[in-house]
Amino acid sequence: MHTIEQLNNGELQGIQRLKLAEQLTELPREILTLADSLEILDLSDNLLTDLPEWLTELPKLKIVFASNNRFTHLPLVLGRCQKLEMVGFKSNQIVRVSGDALPKPLRWLILTDNQVEQLPEALGHRPRLQKLALAGNKLKALPQSFSKLINLELVRLSANQLEQFPDVLLELPKLAWMAFAGNPFCERVNHTESVPSVSAASYQLNQVLGQGASGVISHANWLNNDDEFPKEVAVKVFKGEVTSDGYPCDELQACLQTGHHNNLVKSIGQVNEEDTLALVMELIPNDYFNLGLPPTLETCTRDVFKADFTLSVTQIEKIVDQMIDVFNHLHTNKVCHGDLYAHNVLINDHGEMIFGDFGAASVYDYLNETQQRGVRKIEARALSHFIDDLLSVCKPREIQTASYQSLRNLALIAG
């Protein structure tokens, strides 16, 4: 976090990333003193309603974040920023998105949790677009030009007002990760009772184990004296009405419809109370650790790994075999995970895998057979990328082996 005082005093010369959050209603022109170096401008958590024309005088600007402000439209000046690739305006009140506001080099557009009712045809004429986050808006249809997004790899369309499944998604040649739950075309099935309903009074929350867009996972003690539940559990308490992936209730439904599998986080109870929506799960043993790390601003849609992290071909084969089994289980139960990534996988030193995080999952058993096949095909591309990402950290001395080539061929077939 930086301050306007630092900016005015010249203390920030040469920085590439500037973050200002001081209840700003307009941008200080002194930002132009950073024109020679500034690439990322983070204006989240202010009171902004528009951006100034002089933003085009920042020749190296690649990324603008402006979440949690008061924008009702996407600022037109963005479209005139020559190198701007990433635009993030989550949680504003944006209703209007003009095609003129979309920069030509656009790769990543985030408009989650706004009031957008219609997207411009110009969106389809941004051929570099790879990642598009639109959950929690009021979209009733996608522009016809959507079919031209030949490089789109990830899309979030959950929690909108789409009246029909957008078949155009099935035609996009690179789409691998998608979420579409919580729209009018989605049939509201009866709430799955694959695990028993319990009361929030049945457990006591302790330390936080992790958190994401949709909720907080905590260690908890089971208070009731019964043999059905272990004394220690993990509880995911869902938060908010809409997340970056969609509605929490749809995440819960997809998780429960998936059912049990040895390589999935095991659900053992659900809480559906007026003020609490939660999932009770078995604790994951302490010897499990994250397989990968989420995509960076640079990689956009592809996972990264810790420095110097490597896997043997044998380890990769074991992980891939388990993920293929999980993939088949998911789609047998007509659930598209939507976030099939290494960063959602936990492994132990024996290569045993646990997969989780159903935030972007969509149940799809109500779609017609052609659409169902298309959904599975799209997620198969994610599986292909998963294998490819693991091969990127294969031990160098094993790259020439037959087993490595076999995995490479498997990745090609899956995609």
Rounded to 10 deg, the angle between the 402-414 and 369-391 helix axes is 150
Q: Is the pLDDT of residue 84 over 90?
A: yes
Start-end of CATH 3.30.200.20 domains in the chain: 201-282
334 assigned ligand-binding residue? no
Closest to 371 (Cα-Cα) out of 140, 162, 167, 172: 167
Where does the pLDDT of residue 154 fall: very low under 50, low under 70, confident under 90, or very high at 90 and above? very high
Residue where the block lists tokens 């509880």: 235
Q: Is the pLDDT of residue 38 over 60?
A: yes
Start-end of CATH 1.10.510.10 domains in the chain: 289-414
Q: What CATH architecture applies to the domain 4-179? A: Alpha-Beta Horseshoe (3.80)
Start-end of CATH 3.80.10.10 domains in the chain: 4-179
CA atoms of 99 and 97, how far apart (whole Å): 7
The pairing of strands 131-133 and 353-355 is unpaired
CA dihedral 105, 110, 116, 122 (to 10 degrees): 10
Please write the tens of the pLDDT for every residue from 298-308: 999 999 999 99
Please write the tens of the pLDDT for every residue from 200-216: 999 999 999 988 778 89
CATH annotation of 201-282: 3.30.200.20
Q: Is the pLDDT of residue 193 over 70?
A: no
CA atoms of 3 and 124, how far apart (whole Å): 38
Report residue 390 as tokens.
Answer: 């693991």
Q: What per-residue confidence (pLDDT) applies to 69?
A: 98
Residue 347 sits at φ, ψ, to 5 deg, of -135, 165
**Could you tell me what percent of the chain has a pLDDT over 70?**
98
Domain spanning 289-414, CATH class: mainly alpha
Q: What per-residue confidence (pLDDT) applies to 82?
A: 96
Residue 5 sits at φ, ψ, to 5 deg, of -60, -45
Please write the tens of the pLDDT for every residue from 381-411: 999 999 999 999 999 999 999 999 999 999 9
